[in-house]
């Protein structure tokens, strides 16, 4: 896409053997394209397990996995750039089908003797594809279709032995195949929604070319994980810190499904949760799912630690440290109750995207510094059980639904570990301010849900600055709090846009807050995107 070579992450850090490795697997080699993760997700959407590995992973590592097929992703490099990621020809000798997408196709064509040239103009965005010879890959699909392109280098000639299948206005050769050697290439991106036949093309490659069976599903993940968890922990006792978020909830339920009462969950209620959230967690896990659960009401302890703390990082640190202290105390009590035998295993809701992004793969828990609440230090003497380590977020939700987790928990928006404390901004998180914020937040959540917008938003919440303003209510002067409404759309929290909530909804929210909450006399809307703002205010 640009002329630069892709940066190379350290191989040994990026190789991950996920906790669940089903028998059939597609390896996606990552050449640094912005859609690489998406390719792996789309393959899984077709019911086939796939793993994203760095492009420079040793050939033996790929062979060891015995993949049914290999996909080479797109990437920012030009095949002519110095240091451009090369193709290991050995890949083509493994006897499994290979398909290159965008840079992946250019690499195949260039290496195998076709003609790739640097073009003056690139081809970015929607393009019209004209199919001249559908081959295997495009069979039974329209002759003319839309596709999504994002490249500058262009393929002008297919390599010897290959057929050119299609072209677009800027790409004389937009798809190639050598069905005999089972090597395929497409210049456009089948993984993005703007390529309407993309999923069909991927399915064609996976089923007809690679011969995969679509067996990867929420039900099969549950079955496989239950087996693996049993294998890992045997008769051992397991402890799980439950936060009420979807990841820890699904991880806990999976482990409970596998080993029942050998699991004890610890829910630390730091008093910084949203309204009724603590009760809901206890009710769901203890009453509905009968999971052994220790719920610790630690509100006073946390509020004590927050006294006089106003600086955002200091708040996070105070909460993080206290969380660990409470959790360790509870773990020690549990060990005492079980006759001195410590819980040997600790459940962590690590996801595949955390694994990919952090470069970890050694089994150590990686917790981003500002995501450290609810996370535990790695010097705790536990062996980790990470049943979600191979799963993307949407798969975690599907597994949650499969296990019967209530919709409210399955679709819960992300909520920061330090909770409402980092939304009471510019001052101390006192009980009084937290309570005002909690009530305002409750009204916001109710109205957003009523409007059917909860799932569409990445997050919706309130912020309570340490500011009071003058107002007039019932002929009286008031001096009350300002509530900030923050609602954003996002895919991954790296960037975010402020949500265009309907005016009528905003009006209802504002008037409910002011009418129902004595302490509040003004409501404002945050219209900052990220960047330049962050999602949270602290």
**Residue among 159, 349, 418, 480 that touches ligand XMP (CB under 6 A):** 418
534 in contact with ligand XMP (CB under 6 A): yes
Q: Just list the catalytic residues.
A: 102, 189, 191
Q: Which two tokens stand for residue 390?
A: 């191979």
Sign of CA dihedral 275, 277, 278, 280: positive
User: Shortest gap between Cβ of 316 and ligand XMP (angstroms)?
Assistant: 5
317 in contact with ligand XMP (CB under 6 A): no
**Residue among 282, 451, 482, 493 that touches ligand XMP (CB under 6 A):** 493
Q: What is the DSSP string of 265-310?
A: EEEEE-S-SPTTHHHHHHIIIIIIS---EEEEE-HHHHHHHHTT--
User: Shortest gap between Cβ of 229 and ligand XMP (angstroms)?
Assistant: 25
Which lies closer to ligand XMP via its Cβ, residue 202 or residue 376?
Answer: 376
**Residue among 76, 387, 417, 480 that touches ligand XMP (CB under 6 A):** 417
Which lies closer to ligand XMP via its Cβ, residue 400 or residue 416?
Answer: 416
- SS3 for 357-382 is HHCCCCCCCCCCHHHCECECCCCCCC
Cβ–Cβ under 8 Å, residues 106 and 72: no
**Residue among 228, 344, 371, 468 that touches ligand XMP (CB under 6 A):** 371
**Residue among 228, 301, 370, 393 that touches ligand XMP (CB under 6 A):** 370
67 in contact with ligand XMP (CB under 6 A): no
User: Shortest gap between Cβ of 370 and ligand XMP (angstroms)?
Assistant: 4
SS3 state at 233: helix
User: Shortest gap between Cβ of 51 and ligand XMP (angstroms)?
Assistant: 26
Pick from 216, 225, 176: nearest CA to 72: 176
Question: What string marks each residue from 85 to 104 as x (binds ligand XMP by CB under 6 A) or -?
Answer: --------------------
Give the up-direction half-sphere exposure of residue 14: CA atoms within 13 A in the CB hemisphere: 20
Piece of the chain touching ligand XMP by CB under 6 A; list 293-301, 345-353, 410-418, 501-509: 410-418
Q: Which two tokens stand for residue 240?
A: 């799980």
Piece of the chain touching ligand XMP by CB under 6 A; list 265-273, 327-335, 433-441, 530-538: 530-538
User: Shortest gap between Cβ of 240 and ligand XMP (angstroms)?
Assistant: 17
Which lies closer to ligand XMP via its Cβ, residue 109 or residue 388?
Answer: 388
Phi, psi of 489 (to 5 degrees): -105, 145
**Residue among 194, 325, 344, 530 that touches ligand XMP (CB under 6 A):** 530
SS3 state at 209: helix
User: Shortest gap between Cβ of 459 and ligand XMP (angstroms)?
Assistant: 6
- Whole-angstrom distance, CA of residue 358 vs CA of residue 288: 35
Bridge partners (DSSP) of residue 70 are: 27, 98
Bridge partners (DSSP) of residue 177 are: 163, 184
Compute CA distances 189 → 29, 103, 109, 124, 186, whole Å: 15, 10, 17, 11, 8
Pick from 465, 463, 460: nearest CA to 449: 460
Which lies closer to ligand XMP via its Cβ, residue 26 or residue 483?
Answer: 483
Cα dihedral: 400, 402, 407, 413 (round 10): 30
Give residue for tokens 């500002």: 370
Piece of the chain touching ligand XMP by CB under 6 A; list 90-98, 218-226, 366-374, 448-456: 366-374
| Class of residue 452 by CB neighbours under 10 A (exposed 0-12, middle 13-18, buried 19+) | exposed
Which lies closer to ligand XMP via its Cβ, residue 56 or residue 370?
Answer: 370
416 in contact with ligand XMP (CB under 6 A): yes
Compute CA distances 139 → 125, 171, 204, 304, 439, whole Å: 24, 20, 9, 68, 58
Using CB under 6 A as the binding rule, the residues of this chain from 138 to 197 that contact ligand XMP are none
Piece of the chain touching ligand XMP by CB under 6 A; list 148-156, 255-263, 301-309, 368-376: 368-376
Which lies closer to ligand XMP via its Cβ, residue 167 or residue 372?
Answer: 372
**Residue among 274, 305, 316, 389 that touches ligand XMP (CB under 6 A):** 316
Using CB under 6 A as the binding rule, the residues of this chain from 447 to 486 that contact ligand XMP are 459
Pick from 98, 333, 64: nearest CA to 206: 98
SS3 state at 28: strand
Which stretch of DSSP H or E encloses residue 485? strand 476-489
Which lies closer to ligand XMP via its Cβ, residue 185 or residue 417?
Answer: 417
Phi, psi of 439 (to 5 degrees): -70, -40
414 in contact with ligand XMP (CB under 6 A): yes
Count of residues touching ligand XMP (by CB under 6 A): 14
Residues at the site binding ligand XMP, with contacts judged by CB under 6 A? 316, 370-371, 373, 414, 416-418, 459, 493, 530, 534-536
């Amino acid at each position: 896409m640009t002329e630069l070579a892709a940066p190379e992450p350290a191989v040994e850090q990026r190789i991950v053997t996920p906790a669940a490795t089903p028998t059939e697997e597609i390896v996606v080699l990552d050449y640094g394209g912005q859609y690489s993760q998406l390719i792996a997700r789309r393959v899984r959407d077709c019911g086939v397990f796939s793993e994203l590995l760095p492009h420079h992973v040793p050939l033996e590592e790929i062979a060891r996995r015995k993949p049914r097929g290999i996909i080479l992703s797109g990437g920012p490099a030009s095949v002519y750039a110095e240091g451009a990621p090369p193709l290991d020809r050995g890949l083509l000798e493994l006897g499994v089908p290979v398909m290159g997408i965008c840079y992946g196709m250019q690499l195949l064509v260039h290496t195998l003797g076709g003609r790739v040239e640097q073009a003056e103009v690139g081809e970015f965005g929607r393009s019209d594809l004209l199919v001249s010879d559908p081959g295997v890959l495009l069979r039974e699909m329209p002759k003319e279709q839309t596709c999504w392109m994002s490249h500058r280098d262009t393929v002008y000639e297919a390599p010897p032995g290959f057929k050119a299948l299609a072209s677009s206005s800027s790409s004389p050769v937009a798809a190639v195949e050598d069905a005999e050697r089972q090597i395929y290439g497409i210049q456009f991106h089948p993984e993005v929604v703007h390529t309407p036949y993309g999923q069909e093309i991927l399915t064609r490659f996976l089923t007809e070319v690679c011969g995969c069976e679509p067996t990867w599903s929420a039900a099969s993940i549950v079955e496989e994980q239950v087996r693996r968890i049993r294998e890992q922990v045997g008769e051992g006792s397991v402890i799980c810190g439950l936060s009420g978020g979807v990841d820890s909830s699904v991880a806990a339920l999976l482990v409970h499904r596998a080993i029942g009462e050998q699991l004890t969950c610890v829910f630390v209620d730091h008093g910084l949760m949203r309204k009724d959230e603590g009760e809901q967690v206890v009710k769901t896990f203890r009453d509905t799912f009968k999971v052994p659960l220790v719920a610790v009401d630690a509100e006073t302890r946390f509020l004590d630690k927050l006294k006089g703390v106003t600086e955002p990082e200091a708040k996070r640190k105070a909460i993080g440290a206290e969380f660990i202290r409470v959790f360790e105390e509870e773990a020690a009590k549990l060990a005492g109750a079980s006759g001195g035998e410590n819980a040997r295993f600790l459940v962590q809701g690590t996801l595949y995207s955390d694994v990919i992004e952090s470069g970890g793969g050694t089994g150590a828990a990686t917790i981003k510094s500002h995501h450290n609440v609810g996370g535990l230090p790695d010097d705790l003497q536990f062996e980790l059980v990470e049943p979600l380590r191979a799963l993307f977020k949407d798969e975690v939700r599907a597994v949650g639904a499969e296990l019967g987790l209530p919709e409210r928990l399955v679709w819960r928006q992300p909520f920061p570990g330090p909770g409402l404390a980092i939304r009471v901004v510019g001052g101390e998180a006192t009980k009084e301010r937290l309570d005002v914020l909690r009530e305002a937040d409750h009204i916001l959540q109710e109205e957003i849900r009523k409007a059917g917008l909860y799932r569409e938003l990445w997050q919706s919440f309130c912020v309570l600055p340490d500011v009071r303003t003058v107002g007039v209510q019932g002929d009286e002067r008031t001096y009350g709090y300002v509530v900030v409404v923050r609602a954003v759309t996002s895919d991954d929290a790296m960037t975010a846009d402020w949500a265009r909530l309907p005016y009528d909804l905003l009006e209802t929210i504002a008037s409910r807050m002011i009418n129902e909450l004595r302490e509040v006399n003004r409501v404002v809307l945050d219209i900052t995107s990220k960047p330049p703002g962050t999602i949270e205010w602290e």
